[in-house]
A and B are shown apart, each in its own frame.
Chain A
Amino acid sequence: MRPDAEAIAEQVFTALADPTRRAILATLAAQGPATGTDLADRLPITRQAIAKHLALLADAGLVTPEPGERRRVRYRLRSAPMEVAQQFLAALAHDWDDRLAALRDHLDRSSPALTTPDSESE
């Protein structure tokens, strides 16, 4: 069964809530695919902790393991779940309250009503 958008977004936000996982994702984003050892060299985190977090990120589909040099597994950032989370953020950012207030202001400026709406409403 395919996970729903809610489940995917939750995994993304859970992953991003942890500073170590943010650091891992940020490093992969900035510098491209890396092995656990590469990440341990670049971040102030133990190799064991990195392995644990990479396993969680792989389960969530946020990174994907692939064959690297010298038969080492390296991890690549996978953006599709981020894009689902982005849709969630977009729903929060699509600010129709502000837009409709701007529409009202525009209409009142450019086509003032003949009667004031306040006089009869409510």
Chain B
Amino acid sequence: MAFPDRIERSVELAQPPSTVWAALTTAEGLSAWFGDKATIDLRLGGAAEMTFRSGLTVDMRVERVEEPTVFGFTWRVPDLPEGDPRRTYVEFTLEAVGDGTRLRVVETGFAQLPDDSRRQTYDSHAQGWAAELGELAGYLDAA
């Protein structure tokens, strides 16, 4: 399948799962490696927010909390309109290996389509995207 629906990576880290867990699930940890600023309400359905150096802020929703082995969240695909229902799901799995941790991350959902009712909503709101599409036009003009 050429459309990449699923991204999967695995890394071995020298620190134990409890340390890695804190880096993944606390505002302090997340802001140290993931985004520039982070907030997180670590419970099922809790809200989290990540602000990147570019200024982009992405809202996240906590979907799985099984300390210290599974942490999952969904977030919006960047550059889709605010309120778009499509979200990708990111799941971290931590496994103790010796003194360290094998961390696996899987992100899925890139190939999902908006359902037809949403698609009509897009069409009726097509003019609302004028500003963003104007940026595309500027980019294309400059190219």
Contact = CB atoms under 8 A, between A and B. Distances in A.
Whether chains A and B associate is yes
Interface stretch (A34-42, A49-57, A79-87): A79-87
Given A91-B4, A113-B14, A117-B14, A96 B141 contact: no
B68 interface: no
Contact of A107 (B9, B14, B116): B14
* A-B complex: 6 closest residue pairs judged by Cβ atoms: A113-B14, A29-B133, A30-B137, A106-B33, A29-B137, A26-B137
Binding site of A, secondary structure by majority: helix, strand, loop or mixed? helix
A76 interface: yes
Interface of A: 2, 4-6, 8-9, 22-23, 25-27, 29-30, 32, 64, 76-80, 82-84, 86-88, 90-94, 96-97, 99-100, 102-108, 110-111, 113-117, 120-121
Interface of B: 1-5, 7, 9, 11-15, 19-20, 23-24, 29, 32-34, 77-81, 84, 86, 88, 98-100, 103, 105, 107, 110-114, 116, 119, 122-123, 126-127, 129-130, 133-134, 136-138, 140-141
Contact of B3 (A6, A100, A103, A115): A6
B137 A106 contact: no
A94 B7 contact: yes
B99 A115 contact: yes
A83 B114 contact: yes
